[in-house]
Structure 1
Amino acid sequence: MLYFIPTPIGNLGDISFRALELLKTCEIFFCEDTRVSKSLLLSLSNKFQIDFQAKKMIAFHTHNEKEILKNLNSEIFSQNIAFLSDAGMPGISDPGYALVDFALKNGIEFEVLPGANAALVALVSSALSEKEFIFMGFLANKGRERQKDIQRALNHPYASIVYESPKRILSLVEQISLIDENREIFAIKEISKKFETKFKGKAKEVFSVLKEANLNGEWVLVISKNHQNLNHNSLSENDILELDISLKAKSKLLAKINGKNPKEIYAKLLLSQN
């Protein structure tokens, strides 16, 4: 059986009893980073007085997962196998997705355990969403793609959750404040750790506070929804296709709203008319 086991994102006490029991029985570990997993097992062993014994650990991350899965013998899953990301829920801005997909396509039995997740902790702590939300993970690091990601987050009709590094959190909040200084945001760092810290307010207010704050640690930012009625104030793809304008003009407009190449869209529109 293959198990996807969430790991603590801060406090070791967040590990579940079921996770500890499975960690004892699993014979092979696929790990985002074998060094981190070894350190985690040692810490858990000391805290809970558990002997995990020697485990076979295989590095499995975004840089090597395709090669490993290509050469993987499915007979390995006759043993109990655990997948561990460095911290938190596998597959959520962490490796794991490819292995789940592999298991589904090859009829391999697996279970995903519930556990620690920074995005949901931040969302609940923010009080910025009663129901719907959008998880964006890490935004593009720089350039035009990053600007597009930020604008998308601000346009969403639901609260948006973003992961950010300490190096970019201040510039991110600054950019949001320049676009919409009164947008309400919530920032939290070091979730479940000793120095967990929360900030909430209008973007311009949070930016002012963060300029004087210690920014070390991993961050999650929750951006309140766009309260404008976007559905009534913006064109959909069907609206554009129904316009009495040239195909080139339609292609440019469609490219603006979906981020695709206008030449490719134009070619498809030409084909659709034949």
Structure 2
Amino acid sequence: MGGTAASGRLYIVGTPIGNLGDLSPRAAAAFRAADAICCEDTRVTAKLLAHLDLSRPLIRCDENVIAQRAPEIVERVLAGETIAFASDAGMPSVSDPGQVLVDAARDAGAAVEVIPGPSACVCALVSSGIACDHFFFEGFLPRKQGERVRRLQELAFVPGALLFYESPHRVLASLEAIAAVFPNRAVALCRELTKLHEEVLRGSAPDLVELVRERGELRGEMVLVVAPPGADEHAGACPQTAAGQEDPGEALRRDIACALDDGEPASAIAKRLSQRYSRRKREVYELVISMQEDTGRA
């Protein structure tokens, strides 16, 4: 199966978010063509390959190790091998460690081919029934409630729907934060998408808070969809001049300074804040290093 130097390729493969019937013929072909498959969890990808009656070497590349393994993987592609990367579910690089590998491959000039597939955030947006002419995908909200609220306030002026990934044990806290910031907006909680028990709950955030409290802990990975701001929301204000709205660049520098004061590693700061401020991780990392050097914290 090994190729020549001219035929090396990195396949970025979208995989089902629940229903194995959503695996595309191109995705299956990419797995068959691969000399090895990089994945977040080898057990999850092994089950997918078993569905295809296929066996390939699996390389664990979750968020804890992918940065260290990316150079070796890219070298294998440049040497002529065909390597596939798959997330546990959905499209790699979307709130996912695959972004690191794609970035490294592009920088090195390695051939990259994306095999499109299911995406939980897009599936949820369509399923929610909320206006989706424009939308902003945030990924996961911060873990601490105060930081959640502040981040939602920063997103208040986005002129489109807001999409958040959430886990069962944190969804109630996230809904409470959304209720505090957007009490009058429509919200949809989408869970178990494409699976047998798929469910979409709709209502205002305060209503959904009460519903989730009554039902107890919900199961499955979830997507929260928040409707765009109404015509009367923040009337007359704009993101640059509204009271209490801090310039995003200054806010980023402030958060970096706080993280450095707390002794947080530069790589961890870059990962966390690049997601929060929708910046490239490398860009934020370079800013962190620059601020370290300026203040003598390095």
Aligned equivalent of 2:240, options 232, 236, 246: 236
Q: Distance in 2 between matches of 1:80 and 1:104?
A: 15
Q: Distance in 1 between matches of 2:23 and 2:107?
A: 30
Q: Which one is further off, 131-140 or 226-235?
A: 226-235
Identity of aligned residues (%): 34
User: Hey, what does 1:205 align to over in structure 2?
Assistant: 207
Q: Distance in 1 between matches of 2:233 and 2:218?
A: 35
Gaps of 5+ in 1: 46-50, 241-251, 265-274
Counterparts of residues 111-190 of structure 1 (less than 5 Å): 111-190=113-192
Report the TM-score, using the length of structure 1 for normalisation.
0.80
Counterpart check, 1:20 vs 2:28: yes
Query: 1:80/1:59 Cα in 2 relative to 1: closer, same or farther (>3 Å)?
Result: same
User: Hey, what does 1:90 align to over in structure 2?
Assistant: 92
Question: How far off is 1:236 after superposition?
Answer: 2.1
Counterparts of residues 211-222 of structure 1 (less than 5 Å): 211-213=213-215, 215-222=218-225
Query: 1:35/1:174 Cα in 2 relative to 1: closer, same or farther (>3 Å)?
Result: same
Q: What secondary structure sits across from 1:134 in the alignment?
A: strand
Query: 1:34/1:223 Cα in 2 relative to 1: closer, same or farther (>3 Å)?
Result: same
Query: 1:68/1:179 Cα in 2 relative to 1: closer, same or farther (>3 Å)?
Result: closer
Q: Distance in 2 between matches of 1:236 and 1:148?
A: 16
Q: Which one is further off, 91-100 or 76-85?
A: 76-85
Q: Distance in 1 between matches of 2:130 and 2:40?
A: 32
Query: 1:256/1:135 Cα in 2 relative to 1: closer, same or farther (>3 Å)?
Result: closer
User: Hey, what does 1:37 align to over in structure 2?
Assistant: 45
Between Structure 1 and Structure 2, whose CA radius of gyration is higher?
Answer: 1
User: Could you say what the CA RMSD is over the residues aligned between the two structures, in angstroms?
Assistant: 2.6
Query: 1:2/1:179 Cα in 2 relative to 1: closer, same or farther (>3 Å)?
Result: closer
The answer to whether the Cα contact below 8 Å between 1:154 and 1:223 also exists between their aligned partners in 2 is no
Q: Distance in 1 between matches of 2:246 and 2:237?
A: 16
User: Hey, what does 1:272 align to over in structure 2?
Assistant: none
Q: Distance in 1 between matches of 2:74 and 2:183?
A: 54
Q: Distance in 1 between matches of 2:156 and 2:74?
A: 45
User: Hey, what does 2:64 align to over in structure 1?
Assistant: 63
| Equivalent residue letter for 1:189 | R
| Equivalent residue letter for 1:236 | Q
Question: How far off is 1:89 after superposition?
Answer: 0.4
Question: How far off is 1:257 after superposition?
Answer: 8.4
Aligned equivalent of 1:225, options 225, 228, 235: 228
Count of equivalent residues? 244
Q: Distance in 2 between matches of 1:105 and 1:257?
A: 26
Question: How far off is 1:178 after superposition?
Answer: 3.2
